Structure 1
Amino acid sequence: MRTWVLLIAALWSLVRVGPQRSSLLNKKGFVYGTVGHPVKIYVKLRQNSPFLICMDFGRASKETVDPTYLWIGPNEKALTGNNRISVTNTGQLMVKDFLEALSGLYTCTLSYKTIKAETQEETIIKKRYDFMIFVNPFAPGWKTACNVSVDCEDITNHNILQARDRIEEFFRSQANILSHHINRSVPAMHFVDHSFQVVRMDSCRPGFGKNEGLHSNCASCCVVCSPGTFSPDVDVTCQICISVHSYGAKSCP
């Protein structure tokens, strides 16, 4: 993310969701799949993912006969319910306490029957839904700065700019006090209005970076580095390293 920096660099990384997910995310926090198009989802570090629905929105509004659901995780193994993965009987999946290593492709295959009214002939239909889940980091203390209804980046920038204004006012007041109320032996202090400047810093935590090409619907997000890349410091991009096979690498073996 890009944020204002005042005196010391404060790194804030926060979650964002792209327009594709927004259109598929309903008020209850469910994300529907799309046949033929992976749905990208960005989850806060150590937070629960939304519920992923093994069905597209159109199919969900229709009667589905004898549905079965098969979820495959990033390790290409079938997913079953455990203390980290929640899978319901209706094909809903949620990943709990999300970490870098849990990023990747989550695939669900929906199987259901169609029955011809004339002949009562049954046909098995299969549809595949892909969800690409990526983790975003966030700075310690983000809960005290933000709440569910506001954008963490906006409120952080607002607070930093407010701090700048208060520091500027402090120096202006000190200059006035030294000029009029303090013994003349104290060195004079002069303050030029609007001379106190802030700069913008764009950075990500180690293991994270920005990639507008890969994450066009979340271009300003610091997203976990994909396999084949790494980020050893607070840079804004993940560097290429073909020997990296996991998400969130901080070094190149």
Structure 2
Amino acid sequence: MRAWVLLSAVLWYLTGVGWQRNSERTEKGFIYGKPGHPVKVYVKLHHNSPVLVCMDFKRAEKETVDPTYLWVGPNEKPLSGNNRINITNTGKLTVKDFLEPLSGLYTCSFSYKTIKAETQEEKVVKQRYDFMIFVNPFAPGWKGTCNESIDCEDTTNHNILQARNRIEEFFRSQAYIFNHDLNKTLPAMHFVDHSFQIVRMDSCRPGFGKNEGLHSNCATCCVVCSPGTFSPDVDVTCQTCISVQIYGAKSCQ
């Protein structure tokens, strides 16, 4: 009986993340607010956020008189004076080089005037838009490795498959040399064709986890752990810890 060894390669799996596809996102990558409903946005760590627009899509298609915009960030802190935050005169917000502590609720108060044609009476209309921004860890430091790839996850998986094929070819060549060139009997422990496998390992880095209930529109994403939870290892879930008050906690303190 010939003995054989099953070789396995582990694929460290971190899901890449795209911004949600919904009616609030336009072809330009802008994400509009939705009155009465927080819009969830998922941003890659160390990347810029999409452009958040302090207005809903229907309102943006109409003429707006004397609009004003006021953005407030997580913990109800004003967003002025922060060099990571870019807010335009038309109420569009972008967060640069996104980090875990920047996750949370971003709220914009939007007001504008309406004028009745018959009486020329002016009325101020106010509207609030909420955006819940979460960060996904994929992937700091991978920009160079992926050679500016649009989807770093696809590039990483392609590279691992290439490595698998080359390793398998090495063992196959070794078996061929033993059989033909050296004219020797194969050793008791040797490679068997089609026995080399890649095992997909589902995991998240510390401080991140997956939650299909909370993030149904990004169920496969490793999303930063919210306040009240933490993840100390490469598990796929965030554990409960009431004392944690930050995003991305790696311990219960």
Provide the TM-score with structure 2 as the length reference: 0.89
Q: Give CA-to-partner distance per residue, 1:84-135, whole Å, 9 cap, x none.
A: 1111111111111111001000000110111111111111101111101001
Quote the residue 2:179 is aligned against. 179
Whole-angstrom distance in 2 between the partners of 1:213 and 1:8: 28
Q: Secondary structure at the match of 2:75?
A: coil
User: Which residue number in structure 1 is paired with residue 4 of structure 2?
Assistant: none
- Whether the 8 Å contact between 1:179 and 1:188 is mirrored in structure 2 is no
Deviation for aligned residue 1:146: 5.8
What's the CA shift for 1:59? 0.6
Report if aligned partners of 2:45, 2:137 keep a CA contact under 8 Å in 1. Answer: yes
Residue 3 of structure 1 is matched in structure 2 by: none
Which stretch has the larger CA shift, 116-125 or 186-195?
186-195
Which residue type is aligned with residue 35 of structure 1?
P
More strand by share: 2
Number of residue-to-residue matches in the alignment: 246
Give the distance between the partners of 2:141 and 2:123, measured in 1 at CA: 54
Q: CA deviation at 1:155?
A: 3.0
Aligned CA RMSD, in angstroms, stands at 2.1
* Unaligned residue ranges in structure 2 (runs of 5+): 1-7
2:10–2:201 contact (8 Å) kept in structure 1: no
**Cα distance in 1, alignment partners of residues 113 and 19 from structure 2:** 34
**2:245 maps to amino acid:** H
Aligned equivalent of 1:98: 98
Q: 1:145 is matched with which residue? A: 146
Query: Which residue does the alignment assign to 1:10?
Result: 12
Aligned counterpart, 1:112: 112
Deviation at 1:75, TM superposition (A): 1.6
Answering whether residue 97 of structure 2 is matched by residue 87 of structure 1, we say no
User: Which deviates the most, 235-244 or 185-194?
Assistant: 185-194
Aligned counterpart for 1:19 among listed residues 18, 21, 41: 21
Which residue is 1:71 aligned to?
71
Residues 112 and 139 of structure 1, relative CA distance in 2, 3 Å threshold: closer
Against the structure 1 CA distance between its residues 112 and 232, is the aligned structure 2 distance closer, same or farther, given a 3 Å change threshold?
Answer: same
Instruction: Judge conservation of contact 1:66–1:112 (CA < 8 Å) in 2.
Output: yes
Q: 1:124 to 1:184 in 2, by over 3 A?
A: same
Between the aligned partners of 1:215 and 1:190, the Cα distance in structure 2 is 46
Matches within 5 A, 1:158-237: 158-182=158-182, 184=184, 187=187, 190-237=190-237
Flag the 1:183–1:194 CA change in 2: closer, same or farther, 3 A.
Answer: closer
Moved more, 242-251 or 75-84: 75-84
Deviations 1:213-253 (A, max 9, x none): 11101001000000110000000000011111110000001
- Relative distance call for 1:65 and 1:185 in structure 2 (3 A) is closer
Q: Conserved in 2, the CA contact under 8 Å of 1:178 and 1:189?
A: no
CA–CA distance in structure 1, aligned partners of residues 210 and 38 of structure 2: 19
Amino acid at match of 1:180: H
1:155 equivalenced with 2:152 (yes/no) = no
State whether residues 179 and 189 of structure 1, in contact with CA within 8 Å, keep that contact through their aligned partners in structure 2: no
Tell me the SS of whatever aligns to 2:113.
strand
User: 3-state DSSP class of the match of 2:120?
Assistant: coil
Alpha-carbon separation, structure 1, partners of 2:108 and 2:247:
21
**Aligned counterpart, 1:42:** 42
